[in-house]
Amino acid sequence: MMIVMKEGATEDEIAHVVERVESVGCTAHISEGELLTVIGAIGEREDRVADLGLEGTPGVDQVVPIMKPYKLASRQFKDGADSVLEIGGRKVGGTNFALMAGPCTVENRDQMLDSADAVAAAGATMLRGGAYKPRTSPYSFQGLGREGLRLLDEARERTGLPIVTELLDLRDIDDVVEVADVIQIGARNMQNYALLSEAGKSGKAVLLKRGLSATIEELLMASEYILKEGNENVMLCERGIRTYETAYRFTLDLLAVPALKEQTHLPVIIDPSHAPGRRDWVESMSLAAAASGADGIIIEVHNEPEKAICDAAQQVPTSEFQQLTDKLETITSVVGKTISRG
């Protein structure tokens, strides 16, 4: 249930509605826009809110049921508007296209700082890099852990770029939160609900990747676990799903962009690196993502990809990243967006 307050509703009027909603066992989520405040009534007893007669309550404009199983992620919750997030002085969503770039994993100081310098010089919005790595084989490189986070922090100080890095385990959340501007939840953890809830409580922006076999609705329901903690800074990421096709690594579902845009107000990001699994296809997928109306991409860029510890075949050399950025500038301008920079 969504309670739309009138323009100019007072804090006391909002507080009174929140109290009424909570009195029937629901949780009240307040979303403040430029003109209006919307209160979402969420919980198993949501139907009881309809019996409160809130339509005649001072400050209330209208009470609207949300029919989707996902509530806070629903486009209806924002009255059809797009959410625009601000992260480290950079905007994501609306007309702002986020270019998140950097190596798959933090390997050493020279590699991380050289890559960071290059993506910053090319005009990236944020710097990505993995300190903890989820690998199919337990014998593969698992990341530098805290040392990787320290190097990411140093790269941010050096370039000014906000940091996107993955959280794998609740035991590492304090260390990750201390460094990350954006917490990435990877595909394998999309339905790790305890992890999602704690990421939501952290107050950090969250980039939630779609699971390998997840539906659009399952992705949106997963986002609710973050949103219900009062954290509205959530981005959804399509990174490729597993299908019967074997000609490439995963199927990059670009139809997810218009499908999600129709259903949710949350920004939609595309990962063009993992699905092809080879760098010569990454540029075309990046440009297609921008053309589809995505709100950004998160792309793997490495100073010496042939020496990369993991995902070497799909990482774009820093020497080629400026050319890709220039092409993205052209495509984003056609669809009415601009690359977001500080």
Tens digit of pLDDT for each residue in 153-185? 999 999 999 999 999 999 999 999 999 999 999
pLDDT for the residue numbered 200: 98
342, amino acid identity: G
SS (H, E, C) 21-56: HHHCCCEEEEEECCCCEEEEEECCCHHHHHHHCHHH
Per domain, the residue ranges of the chain are: 2-65, 85-339
**Pairwise CA distance, residues 40 & 321, whole Å:** 43
What parts of the chain have a pLDDT lower than 70? none
Measured CA distances, 192 to 170, 208, 215, 222 (Å) = 10, 11, 15, 9
Measured CA distances, 292 to 10, 11, 204 (Å) = 41, 41, 27
Q: Collapsing DSSP states into helix, strand and coil, what is residue 173?
A: helix
Tens digit of pLDDT for each residue in 205-214? 999 999 999 9
Tens digit of pLDDT for each residue in 42-72? 888 787 888 888 998 999 999 988 888 999 9
User: CB of 51 within 8 A of CB of 60?
Assistant: no
**DSSP code per residue over 97-125:** EEEEEE-SB---HHHHHHHHHHHHHTT-S
**Pairwise CA distance, residues 100 & 109, whole Å:** 20
Task: For residue 51, count CB atoms less than 10 angstroms from its CB and return exposed for 0-12, middle for 13-18, buried for 19 or more.
Answer: exposed
User: CB of 314 within 8 A of CB of 276?
Assistant: yes
**DSSP code per residue over 183-212:** EEE-GGGTT-HHHHHHHHHT-SEEEEEPPT
Tokens read off for 144: 């530098």
φ and ψ of 100, to 5 deg = -100, 120
Q: Collapsing DSSP states into helix, strand and coil, what is residue 268?
A: strand
Tokens read off for 241: 């799903």
Fold of the domain spanning 2-65: Alpha-Beta Plaits (3.30.70)
Which ranges of the chain would DSSP assign to H, the alpha helix?
Answer: 11-23, 109-121, 146-159, 173-179, 193-201, 216-227, 256-263, 282-291, 318-334
Identify the CA nearest to 272 among candidates 296, 255, 293: 296
Inter-helix orientation angle 282-291/318-334, to 10°: 20
| pTM for this entry | 0.92
Identify the CA nearest to 261 among candidates 2, 85, 82, 70: 82
| Sign, Cα dihedral of 306, 309, 311, 315 | negative
Q: Say whether domain 85-339 belongs to CATH 2.60.40.420.
A: no
Identify the CA nearest to 277 among candidates 315, 323, 231: 315
